Amino acid sequence: MNFEPPPVVAVTDSLMVDSELSSLDASKRQARTAAKLVRAEAAAEDPVATGYALCERVLPAIDFPSGCVVSAYWPIGSEIDPRPLMIHLHEDGHPIALPVTAGRGNPLVFRAWRPEDPLEAAGLSTRVPLASQPELTPRVLIVPLLAFDRAGYRLGYGGGYFDRTLARLRQSGAVLAVGVAYAAQEVAEVLRDGGDQPLDWIVTEDESIRVRANAMRTDPS
């Protein structure tokens, strides 16, 4: 399946704006602005080829349990493209789910997706499975980001959706969170607070980084 690059959109930080920003909030906003520029530059070269390179990095690194549900995302703007990986995992027998926001302050829900399924428009110019699709609970999550560090922390868009979702899923069972990004998105240290959930792996087009030694074993044996 051939993919066109994701649509170029202006992603705002409106979800995290409050009447008064703490010093950390303000610093994170500045970091997001800088990270978007870095990511856009990294994506400008050949985003389609990089999506396939990402797939080739993920598959040898992550031993996905047989038949486990994997969530990914439909890319927007300059996000690295996980769709080649989604197609491969689908063909390998993994149910694939895409995230859907369930209102501000709530964790994400995940709807089933297959390559032939239609999608509908959602916030921030992304696309999601139709409401008629069943909800699934992922065991492995492929997570987008603006920046990452080698401690496993990610800089997101500020809505806290993935952090709340990972916290909920980790309370109810073993899950694996895999952040995917361009190598250029690495920073020395991501600004974080107590609500930020660490990733288990980070995979770029250049390398696979295992962050948490005590992460869920992906080998079902």
Is the pLDDT assigned to residue 140 strictly greater than 70? yes
Is the pLDDT assigned to residue 3 strictly greater than 80? no
Q: How confident is the model at residue 152 (pLDDT cuts 50, 70, 90)?
A: very high
| pTM, to two decimals | 0.86
Q: How confident is the model at residue 21 (pLDDT cuts 50, 70, 90)?
A: low
* Domain map (residue ranges) of the chain: 21-210
Angle at 75 between CA 70 and CA 81, to 5 degrees: 75
Angle at 173 between CA 170 and CA 178, to 5 degrees: 55
CA 135 to chain centre: 18
Is the pLDDT assigned to residue 221 strictly greater than 80? no
Tell me whether strands 147-148 and 154-155 are parallel, antiparallel or unpaired. Answer: antiparallel
The CATH class given to the 21-210 domain equals: alpha beta
Residue among 187, 184, 167 nearest 175 (CA): 167
Is the pLDDT assigned to residue 110 strictly greater than 80? yes
The amino acid occupying position 42 is A
Strand order of the β-sheet with 109-113 is 109-113, 96-100, 70-71, 140-143, 176-180, 201-203, 208-210
H helix or E strand, kind and range, residue 86? helix 83-91
